[in-house]
Structure 1
Amino acid sequence: MIRPLFFALAATLSLTSTVQADPRADYVDFCADCHDANRLGGTGPALIPQTLKRMRGPKVAAVIRDGRVTTQMPGFSDDLTEDRIAALADYLKTPLEAVPPWGTEQIMASRVMDDDYDSVDAPVWASDPMNITLAVETGDHSVSVLDGDTFEVLDRFATPFAVHGGPKFDPTGRFVFIMSRDGWVQKYDIWALKQVGRVRAGLNSRNIAMSGDGKWLAVANYLPNTLTILSTEDLSVAEVHDVKGKDGTPSRVSAVYQAPPRESFVLALKDVPEIWEVSYSETPNLAIFAGGLAHDWRIEGPVAQDTAFPIRKITTPDYLDDFFFDQSYEHVMGASRKGTDGLVVDLVIGQKVADLELAGMPHLGSGITWKYKDTTVMATPHLKEAVISVIDMQTWETVKTIPTEGPGFFMRSHENSKYVWADVFFGPNRDVMHIIDKETLEIVKSMRPVPGATVAHVEFTKDGSHALVSVWEDEGEVLIYNAETLEIVKRLPMRKPSGKYNVWNKITFSEGTSH
C-alpha cells in the first residue's frame, strides 16, 4: 500500500508543480487587470523587456512578491510560491510575440484631460517663477516642485511609471511635459500646481523635445518605430511618422532634440546610419533650411497642410545614437554605443566634417560647454572609462583628458560658477563628486557627502549660487550646496531622487546644462 500511495502522491506533486509553473496563466490571473492582457500597460505600466530593462530578474520578482510601497501594486506572496514568482518574472522579461498598432487612433483613445483642472492668471504661490526647480523622484514615481530661493517644496505630484529623458518646459516656463519609458506624456501646470492631462504617445519611448515656439512636442519611440508629434495645447496628435531609413529599414528612435535656430527637431536613430531633421517651421523655406540640399527633403506619409513636418534624411558614416550640439545648432557631435570614436556632422551641408577622439563610450547627452581661453570647449563623461574628455569646439581636437575615480554619467555647471561638477556614477566610487576648475581643467576637490551612497546629477539655481545634488538611493535626499564655498546648507529627504531641472536654466539653454 505504501509504494502505490508514494507514486500517486509524486504524480500529484509533479502535476501541481507543472500547473504552478505556468507564468502566462498567472499573468492573466494576477497582472492583466492593471497591465493589460498584452502586457503593454493599463492603469499599471507596460511589463515588457524594453520597459523593465533596468530591473533585473530578482528585482522584478521582489516587486511581484512584495508590491510597491505608495503605489497600487500589491504583493502576491500569499498567492504565489517562490517558483511561480520566479517564473512570472522571467516571463515578463521575454519579448512580445507581436507589437500591436499604436498610431493616431490608439494614441488619441488614450488621451485624458483632467476635468478638475482650471487655468489660473498668475502663480498660486509667491516664488520667482523663473527659479522653480523640479526634482524627479524615481523611488515612488513622483516630482517635487521646489522654490529655488527657499528650497521649500511647493508641490509633490505623481508621474507615470519610470520617468525618462528629462522634463521639458514650454518657453514661458509655466507648463512642463514629462515622459515615461512606457510612452505616457504628462502635462503639468506649474502656476496652478495641477496636472492638465496625459496621453500615451508610444509603447516604449526614449525622450521628448519641445519646439522653439512651444507649440509642438516630439516623442522618440523605440516601440513602435515612430516619431509622434503632439500639440502642446491639448496633447492631441499632430502627426505620427513611421521611422524607416532611405532603404526602407525600420529603426528605433534613440533620441529627439530641438534645434531652435533651425526651427527643427533632430533625431538620433538606433538601427540605420542616418540623422533625421524634422521641420516645424510654419513657413519653411526648404532650400535654405536644408542648406541648399532641397532634394534631401521628403514628406513621409499623409500630412495635413496645416501640420506639415517635412523630413530631411542625412546619411552618416556610422550609427549614431547620442548627440551634442554646438550653441549655433549648425554642428552635431555624435557617437554610437560602440564607444570607439565620435564624429561631427555639419547640419548645413549634411556631411561629416571632423572625427572626435572619444574612446570609452562618451555620454554626449550630458555634455556641457563653457568659455575657455579664446575658445569654447565641450566636456563629456564616459560610461566605460574613468575619464572626462574636454574638446575644443572650433578645432574639434581634444584639449585634455581628465582622469576620474570611475566612469561618470552627468556633468553640470553654470555661467556664474567657476566649477564643473562631475559624478562617478559607476563602480565602487559612486559616492564621489568631482569639482573641476574651468580655467585649469584640474580636479580641485573630490567630495564624498554620503559615503557608500550613489551621488549624482547636479542642477544649479537660476543665479548659479546654489547647486542641487541627488543622493540616488531609495531613502535618499537632495543636497543643497553653496556653489562658492562647496558647503551643504540644506538637505531635502526624497525617494531615490534622480534629475533636477531649473526652469530658467532650461528655457534659456544655459551653457552649463544639457539641452
Structure 2
Amino acid sequence: MKRVVSLRMARQALAAATLLVLCVTGAAAGANDTETLYQARCASCHGEERLGGLGPALLPGNLSRLTPAAAEAVIRDGRAASQMPAFGETLDDEAIASLAEWIYRAPEVEPTWTKADILESQVVPHPDGSLPDAPVFDADPLNLFLVVETGDHHASLLDGDTFARLHRFETRYALHGGPKYTPDGRYVFFGSRDGWITKVDLYNLEVVAEVRAGINMRNIAVSADGRYVMAANYLPHSLVLFDAHNLDLMKVYPVASAAGESSRVSAVYAAPPRGSFIAALKDIEEVWEIPWPLPTEPVVATGHMATPLAPQRGHDTPSFRVRRIPVPGYLDDFFFDLDYRHVIGASRDGQGGMVVDLDSGEKVADLPLAGMPHLGSGITWEHEGRRVMAIPHLGKAAVSIIDMQDWTLVKTLETDGPGFFMRSHAGSPYAWVDVFFGPSRDRVHVIDKASLEIVETLIPEPGKTAAHVEFDRYGEKALLSLWEDDGAVIVYDAHSLEEEQRIPMSKPSGKYNVWNKTRYEEGTSH
C-alpha cells in the first residue's frame, strides 16, 4: 500500500533530523537552522507560523511585555505552573539565544486571521447550559475580587469580605485590558494579548466558552446589559463583535478610514449611558462609536436572560453600525466623563490632550497634559461643588487635576516618580496613586481628595514594586499589589491606612471588584 506523507509530517521529520545533526555536530545555528530548531521544538505548541496554539503567539507585537533576556530564561528554564518545558539540558546557550532573537523578528509575510479562523477556534464546553444557577461558594457574588497573577498566568478569586481565596485557575498568556463582568457578576470575560477571549462562569468556577478574535488583541469590552462582547485588535486591524452567550461571532469590522487607510485599534470601551461601544484608533484621526440595541429594538437571540439598561443616546445610529467621528489628531488613550458625552483623548506624542463632544463630534477644549498622561487610569470625584478628574503620567512625576466643567488645570501634584494606576471610591476620602516607573517604584502616594494634597506615602516593602489599588464594594478596604514574582496582595484599612493582611501571589497585576466594575463606581477606571 502506498503511504501518503503530509507536508506537515515531512517538515517535522526534516526538522527532527536537522536538529539531531546540530546536536551531534555542535554546529552553530544560522537563520535557517534556528527556524528548524523552532519547528522541531516549539511549533507543536506555538504554531508553525508562530501564531500560537497551546502556547502563546511568538510575534514581536505579542512579546512586548517580555524582554529578549527574559525570553532566553524561559527557553532555558521553562515556566513554572505551565506546559512550557526547560530546554537548558538539550540546547546550548548559542542555540537558545538564537531562538530568542528569532522570535522577535517580524515574519516575512504578515499573518492573517479570518472569519473562518475565528469560527474554527470557538470552543463551548457546556453548550446545553446545564450548569447550576447558584454559586458553589458562600460569599457575596457582588463583592468578589479577581486578581490577575501575571507571574505564572493564573487568576485568583477572593471573597471581598474575608479575603479568603475561593479558587485559583490557569489563564491564557498575557491577559490585557482587565477582565469584564456581566451585570449580575456571574460571568467574567478575559482577553489575552494573543487574541483569546475566555468566558468563565464564576458561580461554577468553569470555563464556558472561548474564542480567538485576532492575533494581537488590545482589549475587550462588554455591553452594559451583558449581551455583547467587542474585541479590539492590533493584528489584524479590526473590531470583532460576539454574542456574549457562547461567544458566537456576529460581525468583523475591518478598521480603515474612508480613504482606505488601515488602522490598529488601541482600545474599545463600553459607554453604558450611550448604549454603545467607543473605539480608540491608533493610525487614523477618528473615533468610532458602535451602538448595541436598545431594550425596545429587536436583537439577535442570545439564549440567556439579560438586564438591559435604558441608555439615552445623543444620536440615531442604527444598532451595530459604525458612526465615524473625525478628530483633529491621533487619539489612542481615552477617559470619559460620567455620562459619556465627552471623551478626553491623549495625543500620540504624549504632549497634550483634547476634549471631544461625542454628540456633536466637535472638539471643545485642549488640555495641558504633557508627560504621556495615562488617561485609561484616570478617576473623578466632587471637589468644592465641581467635578474634577485626576490623571497620572507615564513620563512625568506628577498627577494632573482638571476641572471637568471648564476643563482648566486645577493643580499639578508632584510625585516621587511617573505613575501607572490611580484609584479611589465614593466611600473613601483618599485617592491612591503609584509611582510605577523609576527608582521609587516601591512607594504609593495617598492623596486627600478635599485638600488635593499628598497626605501619606506608603512603602509596603522597600525595593519591591507597589502598584494598582482596588477597593472593596463599600470603600472600606483597599487592596494593593506587591508586583513581584514572590509578591502579594496587601489589604489596608482604607480609612486608617493600616495594613491588615498579606495574601501571597505570583506578580499580582490587577485586582477587579465585581461591584465597582459593574456599577461603574466613582474612583474606578472604566
Shorter chain as denominator, the TM-score bin is over 0.9
What's the counterpart of residue 178 of structure 2? 166
| Match runs of 1:251-266 below 5 Å | 251-266=263-278
| Match runs of 1:9-408 below 5 Å | 16-18=27-29, 22-115=33-126, 118-282=130-294, 291=314, 309-408=320-419
Cα offset, 1:261, TM superposition: 1.4
Cα offset, 1:291, TM superposition: 4.6
Deviations 1:167-226 (A, max 9, x none): 000111110000100010111111112111211111110011111221100000001001
Q: Are the structure 2 counterparts of residues 21 and 357 from structure 1 closer, same or farther at C-alpha, using a change threshold of 3 Å?
A: same
CA contact (8 A) 2:275 2:313 kept: no
Q: Which amino acid aligns with 1:42?
A: G
Cα offset, 1:104, TM superposition: 2.2
Q: Are the structure 2 counterparts of residues 412 and 490 from structure 1 closer, same or farther at C-alpha, using a change threshold of 3 Å?
A: same
Q: Are the structure 2 counterparts of residues 345 and 73 from structure 1 closer, same or farther at C-alpha, using a change threshold of 3 Å?
A: same
Give the secondary structure class of the aligned counterpart of 1:44: coil
Moved over 4 A (4+): 18-21, 115-118, 282-285, 288-292
TM-score (norm 2): 0.90
Q: Distance in 2 between matches of 1:59 and 1:246?
A: 42
Gaps of 5+ in 1: 1-12, 300-307
Q: Distance in 2 between matches of 1:217 and 1:407?
A: 33
Q: Distance in 1 between matches of 2:314 and 2:247?
A: 32
Q: Distance in 2 between matches of 1:21 and 1:317?
A: 46
Q: Which amino acid aligns with 1:240?
A: V
Cα offset, 1:346, TM superposition: 0.1
Cα offset, 1:16, TM superposition: 2.2
Q: Please identify, of 458-467 and 81-90, the stretch whose mean Cα deviation from structure 2 is larger.
A: 81-90
| Identity over aligned pairs, percent | 53
Cα offset, 1:17, TM superposition: 2.2
Deviations 1:308-358 (A, max 9, x none): 510011111110000000001000000034110000000000111100110
Q: Are the structure 2 counterparts of residues 429 and 291 from structure 1 closer, same or farther at C-alpha, using a change threshold of 3 Å?
A: same
Deviations 1:258-315 (A, max 9, x none): 1111111000000111100011125679xx98856x7xx6x9xxxxxxxx51001111
What's the counterpart of residue 301 of structure 2? none
Give the secondary structure class of the aligned counterpart of 2:400: strand
Q: Which amino acid aligns with 1:490?
A: Q
Q: Are the structure 2 counterparts of residues 20 and 374 from structure 1 closer, same or farther at C-alpha, using a change threshold of 3 Å?
A: closer
Cα offset, 1:507, TM superposition: 0.5
Q: Which amino acid aligns with 1:268?
A: A
Q: Are the structure 2 counterparts of residues 291 and 124 from structure 1 closer, same or farther at C-alpha, using a change threshold of 3 Å?
A: closer
Q: Distance in 2 between matches of 1:42 and 1:214?
A: 28
What's the counterpart of residue 413 of structure 1? 424
Q: Are the structure 2 counterparts of residues 284 and 388 from structure 1 closer, same or farther at C-alpha, using a change threshold of 3 Å?
A: farther
Q: Distance in 2 between matches of 1:504 and 1:18?
A: 54
What's the counterpart of residue 302 of structure 1? none
Cα offset, 1:446, TM superposition: 0.5
Deviations 1:370-415 (A, max 9, x none): 0111100000000000000000111111110000000000000000
Q: Distance in 2 between matches of 1:412 and 1:451?
A: 22
What's the counterpart of residue 499 of structure 1? 510
What's the counterpart of residue 436 of structure 2? 425
Give the secondary structure class of the aligned counterpart of 1:505: helix
Q: Are the structure 2 counterparts of residues 15 and 430 from structure 1 closer, same or farther at C-alpha, using a change threshold of 3 Å?
A: closer
Cα offset, 1:148, TM superposition: 0.4
Give the secondary structure class of the aligned counterpart of 1:86: helix
TM-score (norm 1): 0.92
